[in-house]
Structure 1
Amino acid sequence: MRAVVCSEFGESRVENVPMPSVNTGEVLVKVQRVQLSVTECNLYHGKEISHYETIRNRLNDGPSRLFGHEFCAEVVETANDVTEFDVGDRVYAAGKIPCGNCGYCQSGRELYCLNKEYIGYDIPGTLSEYAALPAEPLSRVPDGVSDAEAAAMQPLASTVLCLREAGITQGDIVAVVGTGVMGFQSAQLALLQGADEVIVTDIDTRKLDIAERHGLTTLDATTTDPVESIRNRTGHTGADVVIEAVGGDQDRGTDGRTPLAQAVEMVARGGSIVQIGYLIGDLTITPRILRSKSVDWINPVTGATDLGPNRTTGTFAARLVEQGRVSIKEYITDELSGLDSFDQAVEMTLNKKEYDALGPTQIVLT
């Protein structure tokens, strides 16, 4: 079969590699679509962000099959001990792979596993025609969800988990800084959780127009000061919860004009800031500013977890999309055909504005 093989940072080629075999606890899937994440694209170019050491070490060991944790695939074979999936099921990966042996796993706190593995980072991902994957992190895709939506589902499953930790209660005023993929999703989820008003701020009017159509209050940061506007709208109190969904390169965390610094300014005393966007590099924080406002800065865990019997954040996210309660299709704007388009997909995902794209580029395999 054909697969993308990375030889070093920023260099890859498509090669013929052996067809994977199914081991205990695994399923063999035929990959239909892969959506590249911004994190993966930055790692491909050697950015020192989350998972950098893992990718560096794998490349040091030789050419490696990396990336591809956001995908839609069809099950074509299951190991004898796998009973939760059948041949023909469509699946996506909502979570990570806990070790099952560390103290966190043994105490039922798998999300904090010390040795969890990540598809596409620790083990080969889905930038290939077929992939053998552990069944544990996979979720079934409902019939009412398209292949394109399924390939874009993993960020929503993560957002569901992030919003569980946000502590939003009925009647809260919620502000979202940045309306990228997870910012837009978190704003919709905040409304579902009972927020009285969700105010989103961005510099991209196209994204703001989409947000407004979904019942969100919008602020164009190119024409108004979002901090001042939110404080004025809340009687100079501030938002109860602020979600920082920009991430990226920021040098100041508590003063200045970075997205995180703005979040600190616009949050109410005793409120919470939820850090959804991944930050790159180091940032300067003045702790007394957070302390003086008694602000909680929440950095949510990632992965998938149970919500009850037969319900996980992964299956719940898919149901939200199937039932139309959360929309993700507006951010699926670009697709390319075949594994040979990998480098172009990376380029387009990292430079969305140049390509008039809203979300990451998807690679269509079948």
Structure 2
Amino acid sequence: MRAIVTDGDGEVWEERRERPEPAPGEALVRIRAVGICGSDLGLVEGEGPPWTDYPLVPGHEVCAEVVELGEEVSDLSVGDRVALHGFVYCGTCTPCREGRYYQCDDLKEVGFTIDGGYREYAALPAYTLTPIPDAISDEEACQIDSAACTLHAMKRVETDVTDTAAVLGPGSLGLYGVQLLRARGVEDVILTGTRDERLEVGADLGANRTVNVREEDPVAAVEEYTDGEGVDICVEAAGAGDVVDTCLQIAKKRGSVVLTGVFGERKEIDPNHIVSKELEVVGGVTASHAVEDVIELFRRGDLTTEGVVTHEFPLADYDDALDAVRERRDGVIKAVLRP
């Protein structure tokens, strides 16, 4: 089979490998679609999380089809289409016993410490695979993990139908954030970013007000829009620039700030905003406990990849695909590889 590998030194290459055999508790799957995440580009350059293990096959936004079952697997069937949520955990440490398996003391993660989805076949623990209904496309299925990462973080705070919200960053996480806020009943959503074409997609997906931060001061724009009160909830989905401090500035008294971006460096903030306004600040970096919810939202049509997934490439064109995402070429927001 074909597999795409990186060493974390900026190199990516193709290897020919034997198709794996499923061990007990595993399922052999044929990869149908895999999204290119910004973290995949970071892995290539050696900027992955500290637990990254090289050389590595990247890819954690996976839709696949079950082709063979290992022993002791009873909750999947050959032919099932499945979405991946790739945390491999011990099940016995304190975080696992408390339901925080994504913080397992011996955590392994598909696409970071275990070879991921940039290949044609994979043998994966059956519990990382969730069957998906026929109504959900492969494209949507490979985005379940991405959208669920945003939802997991948002579920840590309360929202209300009377809230005004801001989403900072119109990449895939932010565009799913706009839709998820609307699905939770928040009808007044501001979206900020640096690219008009992405902001236009956000408006199509439900943002009431968009702000290009290269043309407007986002703090002043939000203050004007909210009559000086600020927003009830601010969802940071950029992982770049001074968005964290912007969130603290535009959140209203007793407001909530949700951080979902992964930053490559330390950021400066004014903590007095947190203290004086008694802000609630939470983080989230996992799709845990949100996968089933996102599947249902896709099934009901309350969540879509339209305008978010903009490009598809065959796996053989991985170099061109990675360059397109890296350079944000041709209006790409989310690109998908098709093995």
Q: What CA distance in whole angstroms lies between the structure 2 residues aligned with 1:125 and 1:111?
A: 17
1:322 counterpart residue number:
299
**Structure 1 residue 176 displacement after superposition:** 0.9
For residue 329 of structure 1, give the secondary structure of its aligned residue in structure 2.
Answer: coil
**Change in CA separation of 1:217 and 1:94 when aligned onto 2, cut-off 3 Å:** same
**Change in CA separation of 1:195 and 1:42 when aligned onto 2, cut-off 3 Å:** same
CA deviations 1:156-190 (Å, max 9, x no partner) are: 12122122113212311111111211111111111
1:260 counterpart residue number:
244
1:355 counterpart residue number:
330
1:18 counterpart residue number:
18
1:166 counterpart residue number:
157
Structure 2 residue 267 is matched with structure 1 residue 283: yes
- Aligned residues of 2:93 and 2:104 also touching (Cα < 8 A): yes
- Aligned residues of 2:153 and 2:282 also touching (Cα < 8 A): no
Q: What CA distance in whole angstroms lies between the structure 1 residues aligned with 2:7 and 2:262?
A: 26
CA deviations 1:321-343 (Å, max 9, x no partner) are: 122111123111112113x3223
- Aligned residues of 1:95 and 1:302 also touching (Cα < 8 A): no
1:303 counterpart residue number:
287
Name the % identity.
Answer: 28
2:111 counterpart residue number:
120
Structure 2 residue 176 is matched with structure 1 residue 185: yes
Q: What CA distance in whole angstroms lies between the structure 2 residues aligned with 1:5 and 1:207?
A: 30
**Structure 1 residue 196 displacement after superposition:** 4.1
The root-mean-square deviation of aligned C-alpha atoms, in Å, is 1.8
**Structure 1 residue 145 displacement after superposition:** 1.5
1:54 is aligned, of 43, 51, 54, to 51
**Structure 1 residue 79 displacement after superposition:** 1.7
- Aligned residues of 2:151 and 2:287 also touching (Cα < 8 A): no
Structure 2 residue 239 is matched with structure 1 residue 247: yes
For residue 39 of structure 1, give the secondary structure of its aligned residue in structure 2.
Answer: helix
**TM-score for both structures, normalised by structure 2:** 0.93
2:230 counterpart residue number:
238
CA deviations 1:47-99 (Å, max 9, x no partner) are: 2x5x2x333xx33xxxx332111121110011231122110111111352222
- Where does the alignment leave 5 or more consecutive residues of structure 2 unmatched? none
Structure 2 residue 269 is matched with structure 1 residue 294: no
Aligned residues between the structures: 338
Q: What CA distance in whole angstroms lies between the structure 2 residues aligned with 1:116 and 1:70?
A: 18
**Change in CA separation of 1:304 and 1:107 when aligned onto 2, cut-off 3 Å:** closer
**Change in CA separation of 1:233 and 1:2 when aligned onto 2, cut-off 3 Å:** closer
**Change in CA separation of 1:107 and 1:209 when aligned onto 2, cut-off 3 Å:** closer
**Structure 1 residue 44 displacement after superposition:** 0.7
- Aligned residues of 2:3 and 2:57 also touching (Cα < 8 A): no
For residue 343 of structure 1, give the secondary structure of its aligned residue in structure 2.
Answer: helix
Q: Residue type matched to 1:12 in 2? A: V
- Aligned residues of 1:70 and 1:151 also touching (Cα < 8 A): yes
**TM-score for both structures, normalised by structure 1:** 0.87
**Structure 1 residue 212 displacement after superposition:** 2.2
- Aligned residues of 2:197 and 2:331 also touching (Cα < 8 A): no
CA deviations 1:106-131 (Å, max 9, x no partner) are: 23332432222110111111221110
Q: What CA distance in whole angstroms lies between the structure 2 residues aligned with 1:301 and 1:35?
A: 17
- Aligned residues of 2:84 and 2:128 also touching (Cα < 8 A): yes
Deviates more, 1:159-168 or 1:296-305: 296-305
**Change in CA separation of 1:363 and 1:215 when aligned onto 2, cut-off 3 Å:** closer
Q: What CA distance in whole angstroms lies between the structure 2 residues aligned with 1:6 and 1:232?
A: 47
Q: Residue type matched to 1:363 in 2? A: L
Structure 2 residue 333 is matched with structure 1 residue 342: no
- Where does the alignment leave 5 or more consecutive residues of structure 1 unmatched? 251-257, 306-312
- Aligned residues of 2:34 and 2:337 also touching (Cα < 8 A): yes
Deviates more, 1:202-211 or 1:13-22: 202-211
For residue 320 of structure 2, give the secondary structure of its aligned residue in structure 1.
Answer: helix
Runs of 4+ in 1 over 4 A off after TM superposition: none
- Aligned residues of 2:313 and 2:337 also touching (Cα < 8 A): yes
Q: Residue type matched to 1:364 in 2? A: R
Q: What CA distance in whole angstroms lies between the structure 1 residues aligned with 2:259 and 2:150?
A: 11
Q: Residue type matched to 1:350 in 2? A: R
Q: What CA distance in whole angstroms lies between the structure 1 residues aligned with 2:265 and 2:218?
A: 25
**Structure 1 residue 8 displacement after superposition:** 4.7
1:255 counterpart residue number:
none
For residue 228 of structure 1, give the secondary structure of its aligned residue in structure 2.
Answer: helix
Q: What CA distance in whole angstroms lies between the structure 2 residues aligned with 1:46 and 1:201?
A: 29
For residue 166 of structure 1, give the secondary structure of its aligned residue in structure 2.
Answer: coil
Structure 2 residue 338 is matched with structure 1 residue 364: yes
1:40 counterpart residue number:
40
**Structure 1 residue 235 displacement after superposition:** 2.3
- Aligned residues of 2:160 and 2:186 also touching (Cα < 8 A): yes
- Aligned residues of 2:19 and 2:121 also touching (Cα < 8 A): yes
1:333 counterpart residue number:
310
Deviates more, 1:70-79 or 1:109-118: 109-118
For residue 303 of structure 1, give the secondary structure of its aligned residue in structure 2.
Answer: coil
